[in-house]
Structures are given as structure tokens and as C-alpha cells.
Amino acid sequence: MPGWWQRMGGVVLSLWIVGASPALFARDRVRVVGSSTLFPLASRVAEVFGSQGRWPTPVVESLGTGGGFQLFCAGVGDATPDVTDASRPMTSSEAADCARHGVGEVVGIRVGLDGMLFVNAKSAPAFALTREQLYRAVARRVPRNGQLVLNPYHRWREISPELPDLPIRIYGPAPNHGTRDAFVALAVVPACERAPEVRSLSAAERQLACQALREDGAWIDVNADYATLLRRLLADPQAMGVLGFSYLDNNRDKLKAARIEGVDPTPESISAGTYPLARPLFLYVKRAHVGRVIGLLEFVHEFVSERAAGPQGYLVEQGLMPLPEGQMKIERMKAQQLAVQR
């Protein structure tokens, strides 16, 4: 799996554990916020968890990864979430925000893998793209004649004669979504940083040049959840869209995905890490709420259980790619250690 989250300042924090008696439980329902990508997965776990009849069904809200971290790190107590799910790692600045607001330590648990897909309507031409072509399609500034200039490409065929003669119009996640960050890190930055015009820049200038997307209408931010993005994409057959694998898996009669660097996005290529836009998915648990919210530990255990996140788990039916067995054991151990008295 690529180490892009280290470059982004991703962190996984250790836990401190404080036991609590049942009398100290402050809330009887788990609250989960965060990623739109993980929203259908977390909702499914919450449904199964609640159907057991032992705990109330958790409340799951789709805010985007960035919005989830913002609310998660706002403090502790009954009015704040217990868990945030994320389609990218927590950054060092988000961890610092948690610390500033007295959240204390949290634990990050990988729950599986996902692939970011470049999709279009089933009836539209098929695309086979490189990351260099994606960079030239979506970046605000691109190399031309030895300089970085505002993106001059308006049709795919202007980038390469092998591409369809269609306008460059891409519906993508807005900045509050972790998928936006991951897409830039995995699809745009590698090609951008290879350009001689970019290599000559300072580190701060390189970051700005490689992370800024177009604002001329070719890239269209969608602030709402991915169901909204999907609807807009299906209403615009000449457009492309950036979605997680589960949205393709549930709409194969309407959508198809582009091949990236010669690799089709499949469960096998995503799990093996050969698909270039594969990424891990995370849960972050607020340690200060462990022992104070009924069912919190059990909900986390359910999320990473074999029946949910294993190779034959019900989340696989939702589009989740299971982690390799050795990695999954490590993540389950993190979940088990939530209950350890220290």
C-alpha cells in the first residue's frame, strides 16, 4: 500500500484506558460521523449491530472526512461523536486540533480497502487513463513550453489523441471529503512532482502547484454525499466522476470505470494494491468515551469482525475490500485493546 499518508502527516495514536462502571454511562447510543465513502458501510454495521437487540442502533451521519474530523475533535462529552470514519488518515494538524480541545488520545483502526474510480455512463466511450493524463485534466496549472500555466485543456483528445473526443467535465468530491485528498495524493501529485517545471519550485510552491484543482468548470465540486454526485453524473452522460468502488459495484447497469495505468479496478487489484488508486479506510475512536457510551466497544468490534470485514463478510457485499489477514489481525488487536485496563 502506498505511503502517501506519511507524506500527508497521517497519524495513528495510542490509547490510554480508564475503566468505568455502568453507572457512569452518559449516553446509550453510539454516534458516528465522517466519510461519505464509509457512510453506507457504517450504516450497514449499525443496522446489523442494532438488530441484535442488545444495544440501540448507532446514529451514523455523513459529513465528509474533513467535516467528521472537525466535529470529532471539537471536544468530549455527550454532545460530541464517539467515532469518526475516514477515507484518509488523520493529519497531524487534525490531531493537534483534537489535543487543543481536550479530546485526549484516540486510536485509528484500518477497517478495509477501497478503490477510487474514474467512472462514466455505461453508454459513453470507455476510458483508459494514466496518472499523467489525469493530472493534465484536473490540475489548475500544468506544464507547457517550460512553464506552469493555467490549464489549457478543454477536451480529452487535446491531452492525447487516443482519448475520446469529449469535453473535460468531471464531477468530484469537494474539499471536505477525504476522497478529494486521496485522489489528489494518489492520482495527481505523483505525475505533478515528476514535471521539471515543478521540481524546480520550493517545497511550499510544489505543494500548492500539485494540490490545486481547476476552477474553470472542468472540475465540478460536489459538496453533498456521493448519491448526489452519482445522480448528477448519470444526468450528464458526457461527464466523468470520481467515486468509491462500492458505488460502481451497486450501479454496474449504469456506470463503468476507467482503466488506470493499464489496471482495471477489481476487488483483486484493489486488495493486492496493484490498482494505483487503492487506499485504506479508517475508524477513529475517541478514548475518552470508552466506558461511558453503551455499546461503543461492541460496535467497534462488530465493524472489524470476520462476519463484517472478513473475506466473506457482509461489508464485502457493500464494496469493501478486506485487508490482508495479517493486517486485519493487527487492527482487531487494536479494537480488543480498547477494553484493556491500564
Domain final residue, candidates 253, 278, 303: 278
What mean pLDDT is reported for the chain?
Answer: 88
Domain membership of residue 305 (yes or no) is yes
pTM over 0.85: no
Domain membership of residue 19 (yes or no) is yes
The alpha carbon of 155 is separated from its chain's Cα centroid by a whole number of angstroms, namely 28
Could you tell me if 58 and 302 are in contact, meaning their C-beta atoms sit under 8 angstroms apart? no
Could you tell me if 293 and 120 are in contact, meaning their C-beta atoms sit under 8 angstroms apart? no
Position 157 pLDDT exceeds 50: yes
How does DSSP classify residue 318?
G
Which of residues 333 and 271 earns the better pLDDT score?
333
Q: Using 50, 70 and 90 to split pLDDT, how confident is the model at 4?
A: very low
How large is the angle between the packed helices 39-51 and 296-303, nearest 10 degrees?
120
Q: pLDDT digit string (tens) for 192-243?
A: 999 999 998 998 899 899 999 999 999 999 887 778 888 888 899 999 999 8
Shared-domain flag, residues 175 and 33: no
Mean pLDDT of 323-332: 94
Mean pLDDT of 328-336: 95
Per the listing, cell 495505468 goes with 261
* C-alpha Rg value of the chain to the nearest Å: 21
Shared-domain flag, residues 273 and 298: no
Dist. CA 301–CA 4, nearest whole Å: 27
- The full length of the chain comes to 342
Domain membership of residue 10 (yes or no) is yes
Range of the domain at 162: 115-278
Shared-domain flag, residues 158 and 22: no
Dist. CA 231–CA 243, nearest whole Å: 12
Position 20 pLDDT exceeds 50: no
Position 9 pLDDT exceeds 70: no
Shared-domain flag, residues 97 and 122: no
Domain CATH number, residue 252? 3.40.190.10
Q: pLDDT digit string (tens) for 273-319?
A: 899 999 999 999 998 899 889 999 999 999 999 999 999 999 998 88
Position 10 pLDDT exceeds 50: no
A 10 A CB-CB count for 81 gives 23
Domain membership of residue 342 (yes or no) is no
Domain membership of residue 91 (yes or no) is yes
Shared-domain flag, residues 236 and 123: yes
Shared-domain flag, residues 244 and 162: yes
Shared-domain flag, residues 183 and 321: no
Shared-domain flag, residues 264 and 309: no
Residues forming a β-bridge with 222? 173
Domain final residue, candidates 278, 305, 321: 278
Domain membership of residue 318 (yes or no) is yes
Domain membership of residue 311 (yes or no) is yes
Half-sphere exposure of 188 (CA within 13 A, CB side): 26
Dist. CA 35–CA 225, nearest whole Å: 9
Domain final residue, candidates 278, 300, 317: 278
Q: Quick one: pLDDT at residue 317? A: 85
Letter string b/e over residues 270-290, b meaning 16 or more CB atoms within 10 A of that residue's CB: bbeeebbbbbbbbbbbbbbbb
Domain membership of residue 85 (yes or no) is yes
Shared-domain flag, residues 201 and 259: yes
Shared-domain flag, residues 84 and 170: no
Q: pLDDT digit string (tens) for 44-96?
A: 999 999 999 999 999 999 998 999 999 999 999 989 999 999 999 999 999 99
Dist. CA 239–CA 64, nearest whole Å: 23
Q: pLDDT digit string (tens) for 98-155?
A: 999 999 889 999 999 999 999 999 999 999 999 999 999 999 999 998 999 999 999 9
Q: Using 50, 70 and 90 to split pLDDT, how confident is the model at 30?
A: very high
Q: Quick one: pLDDT at residue 94? A: 95
Shared-domain flag, residues 84 and 14: yes
Q: Which segments of the chain does DSSP mark as H helices, in order? A: 4-7, 39-51, 65-72, 92-100, 131-138, 156-159, 178-183, 189-194, 196-199, 203-211, 226-234, 245-249, 267-272, 296-303, 306-309, 325-337
Shared-domain flag, residues 154 and 100: no
Total of domains in the chain: 2
